[in-house]
Amino acid sequence: MWLSQYIQSSDLASWIALSVLLISFMIQLYYYFFVFLKLSAATSKEIDVPKKLPPVSVIICAKNEAENLSDHLPAFLQQDYKDYEIIVVNDCSTDHTEDVLMELKTRFNHLRYTSIPINKKFQHGKKLAVTVGIKAAKNEHLLFSDADCYPISDQWIKHMISNYSEQTEIVLGIGRYIRKKGILNTIVRYETLFTAMQYISFALKGKPFMGVGRNLSYKKDLFFKNKGFASHLKVLSGDDDLFINEVANKVNTGIALSQDSHTVSIPPANWPEWFKQKKRHLSTGKYYKPSARRMLGFEYSSRILFYSSFIFLLFHGPWNFPVLTIGILLIIVKGSIVKLVMNRLNEQDLLLSSLLLDIFMPIVLFILSLANIIRPREPKWS
């Protein structure tokens, strides 16, 4: 009886919106149950202590990062690892970066650094600095981070490199942001958490598509075998995600999940800084492989379609109660799985914020993507 009343009182717009709601609901359930749940269920690889771990070159590129290098570089230099070097590429800095490196060099023999001189006629992005660092590296196993980051423990190198096997050429790590007060910090940390949930979960599913330069490892031979950044050299960004998108596959990619393998970064200090950072990150998405764009696009678009049709049906048509039930069910599913992922990545305080930001973030990212289309000039790395 109640179903026939719903059917008789529904107009075409309500039927279309309901169809969109149900299809997007099923797509969202697929992503959360069959993709993102993999991260919460994955186990960390235990380090085999007797195993002989290879020598490692840690590469950090710095542009006017004197203060951050002074604060954070010692954590990289004091790792509990038998054979490693730290290479800092000083990329056209105009502050006292050189002085900081010289002073640290007197205390740490395994620190090496090189400088790229300022040349106003030759503008370049971070890829040149990364390439210089790779060419300077003595070792086959490379590990990358940034000057505004620090490893969460002195076991960082050990936990990252232990994820290599005979076939592994890449290890994807997780880079978090420091927890601070304020809405911006919550948004930055949630967006970073969701990005990690995406790229780690898809890698666990055998479909790696990106990594983050704050915590990433690959072999030197892989870089030169694929001609480095040659295929996307004109794109200022993408020294991490575009390269991984190009060379990673289900066989050659490992994932570091243990807490000791994480790095922590200084978050953007203000909204303009974060907008600039996100615009730079979003500028590389159009260069991803079609399969990666489809994976991300279906999740992104289904989320927008679900919330749009949900809001429409709540205020239009007779389907209010069943629509509300579907919405509550999806919130419970998402909240439960995101909570498990937060526990996995040690970001437990973001659960309530995630329920609102799950709606809010697609709007913000859409606006920033639109801004990249209207003003396509990419921000320079700094």
> Residues 368, 379: contact at Cβ < 8 Å?
no
Give exposure, 42-55, as e/b (b: 16+ Cβ within 10 Å): eebbebeeeeebee
CA dihedral 287, 164, 195, 373 (to 10 degrees): -10
Return per-residue pLDDT of the chain as tens, 382 residues.
444 545 545 577 888 899 999 999 999 999 999 999 999 888 776 665 547 899 999 999 999 999 999 999 999 999 999 999 999 999 989 999 999 999 999 999 999 999 998 877 677 889 999 999 999 999 999 999 999 999 999 999 999 999 999 999 999 999 999 999 999 999 999 999 999 999 999 999 999 999 999 999 999 999 999 999 999 988 888 899 999 999 999 999 999 999 999 999 999 989 999 988 888 888 888 899 999 999 999 999 999 999 999 999 988 767 788 899 999 999 999 999 999 999 999 888 899 899 899 998 888 888 887 877 776 555 455 5
Helix or strand or coil: residue 177? strand
- Give the pLDDT confidence score for residue 382 in this predicted structure: 53
Q: Which residue has tokens 């604060």?
A: 71
Helix or strand or coil: residue 193? helix
Q: What is the CATH number of domain 56-268?
A: 3.90.550.10
Q: Which residue has tokens 């919550």?
A: 186
- DSSP string covering 255-323, please? E--SGGG-EEEPPPSSHHHHHHHHHHHHTTGGGS-HHHHHHHHHHHHHHHHHHHHHHHHHHSSS-HHHH
- Give the pLDDT confidence score for residue 2 in this predicted structure: 44
> Residues 199, 288: contact at Cβ < 8 Å?
no
Which tokens belong to 72?
């954070």
Domain definitions of the chain by residue range: 2-41+292-374, 56-268
How many degrees, rounded to 5, is the angle at CA 357 between CA 255 and CA 199? 15
- Give the pLDDT confidence score for residue 316 in this predicted structure: 79
| Number of other CB atoms surrounding residue 113 within 10 Å | 22
